[in-house]
Amino acid sequence: MPAAVSILPSQQLAALNDAYRKAVARKRLRTTLVTAVCFAALLIAAMGAEVNVVTFFGKIGNFASYFDRIFTLDGGVRVWNDIGEWFWGWKKWLSLLGETVLISYVGTLVGAVIAFGLNFLAAENTGPSVALRFAVKRFMEFCRTVPDIVFALIFVIAFGLGPMAGVLAIAIHCIGALGKQYGEIVENIDMKPVEGVRATGASWMACMRFAVLPQVAAGFASYTLLRFEINVRGASVMGFVGAGGIGQELVVAVRKFYYSDVSAILVMIIGTVFIIDIGTGWMRGRLFGKEARS
Amino acid sequence: MSKLPSANSEDLRARYPAVFNQPVASRAAVPAVFVAALALFIFGLNELEFSPARMLSGLRQLGWIVMMMIPPDPGSSLPAYLAAMGETLSIALLGTTLAAVFALPVSLLAARNIVPSNFFRFPVRRFLDSIRGVDTLIWALVWINVVGLGPFAGVLAIAVSDFGAFGKLFSEAIEAADKKQVEGIRASGGSALHEIRFGLLPQVLPVIAGQVLYFIESNTRSATIIGIVGAGGIGLQLAEQIRVLEWQKVSFLILMILVAVAAIDWISSRLRFAIIGRRAVV
Looking at the fold, whether B212 and B111 belong to one and the same domain comes out as: yes
Looking at the fold, whether B159 and B257 belong to one and the same domain comes out as: yes
List B residues 169-208 in contact with A (Cβ-Cβ < 8 A): none
Q: Which of B137, B224, B164 is nearest to A250 (CA)?
A: B137
ipTM of the complex: 0.77
Specify the pLDDT at position B8. 67
Looking at the fold, whether B89 and B35 belong to one and the same domain comes out as: no
Looking at the fold, whether B195 and B270 belong to one and the same domain comes out as: yes
Give yes or no for residue B1 having a pLDDT over 70: no
Q: What residues of A are in contact with residue B134 (Cβ under 8 Å)?
A: 266, 269-270
Look up the domain containing B44 and give its range. Answer: 6-69
Give yes or no for residue B54 having a pLDDT over 80: yes
CA B201 to chain A, closest CA, distance in angstroms equals: 16
Across A263-284, average pLDDT: 86
Residue B1 maps to a domain: no
Domain count, chain B: 2
Which of residues B21, B39, B69 is at a domain's end? B69
CA-nearest residue of chain B to A290? B26
Q: What residues of B are in contact with residue A55 (Cβ under 8 Å)?
A: 147-148, 152
Specify the pLDDT at position B169. 86
Give yes or no for residue B50 having a pLDDT over 60: yes
CA A117 to chain B, closest CA, distance in angstroms equals: 17
Q: Percentage of chain A with pLDDT > 90?
A: 12
List B residues 112-171 in contact with A (Cβ-Cβ < 8 A): 129-130, 133-135, 137-138, 141-143, 145-148, 150-152, 154-155
Residue B18 maps to a domain: yes
- Cα(A90)–Cα(B133) distance, integer angstroms: 19
Residue B151 maps to a domain: yes
Looking at the fold, whether B59 and B85 belong to one and the same domain comes out as: no
Read off the CATH number of the domain in which B256 is found: 1.10.3720.10
Looking at the fold, whether B63 and B85 belong to one and the same domain comes out as: no
Looking at the fold, whether B47 and B171 belong to one and the same domain comes out as: no
| Chain A interface includes B47 (CB < 8 A) | yes
Looking at the fold, whether B170 and B32 belong to one and the same domain comes out as: no
Specify the pLDDT at position A3. 60
Which of residues B41, B69, B97 is at a domain's end? B69
Looking at the fold, whether B25 and B122 belong to one and the same domain comes out as: no
Would you call B225 and A149 a contact, using CB atoms and an 8 Å cutoff?
A: yes
Would you call A50 and B45 a contact, using CB atoms and an 8 Å cutoff?
A: no
Q: What is the pLDDT of residues B85-113, one digit of tens each?
A: 888 888 888 889 889 999 988 888 888 77
Give yes or no for residue B47 having a pLDDT over 70: yes
pLDDT-wise least confident of A52-61, B122-131, B133-142: A52-61
Would you call B62 and A155 a contact, using CB atoms and an 8 Å cutoff?
A: yes
CA-nearest residue of chain B to A57? B147
Q: What is the pLDDT of residues A129-157, one digit of tens each?
A: 888 888 998 899 889 888 888 899 899 98
Q: What is the 3-state secondary structure (H, E, C) of chain A?
A: CCCCCCCCCHHHHHHHHHHHHHHHHHHHHHHHHHHHHHHHHHHHHHHHCCCCHHHHHHHHHHHHHHHHHHCECCCCCEHHHCHHHHCCCHHHHHHHHHHHHHHHHHHHHHHHHHHHHHHHHHCCCCCCCHHHHHHHHHHHHHHHHCCHHHHHHHHHHHHCCCHHHHHHHHHHHHHHHHHHHHHHHHHCCCCHHHHHHHHCCCCHHHHHHHHHHHHHHHHHHHHHHHHHHHHHHHHHHHHHHCCCCCHHHHHHHHHCCCHHHHHHHHHHHHHHHHHHHHHHHHHHHHHHHHHHHC
Looking at the fold, whether B62 and B10 belong to one and the same domain comes out as: yes
Residue B125 maps to a domain: yes
Give yes or no for residue A127 having a pLDDT over 80: no
Looking at the fold, whether B43 and B84 belong to one and the same domain comes out as: no
Would you call A49 and B90 a contact, using CB atoms and an 8 Å cutoff?
A: yes
Residue B126 maps to a domain: yes
Looking at the fold, whether B94 and B181 belong to one and the same domain comes out as: yes
Specify the pLDDT at position A294. 34
Give yes or no for residue B281 having a pLDDT over 50: no
Q: Percentage of chain A with pLDDT > 70?
A: 96
Which of residues B69, B92, B121 is at a domain's end? B69
Q: What is the pLDDT of residues A207-217, one digit of tens each?
A: 888 888 888 88
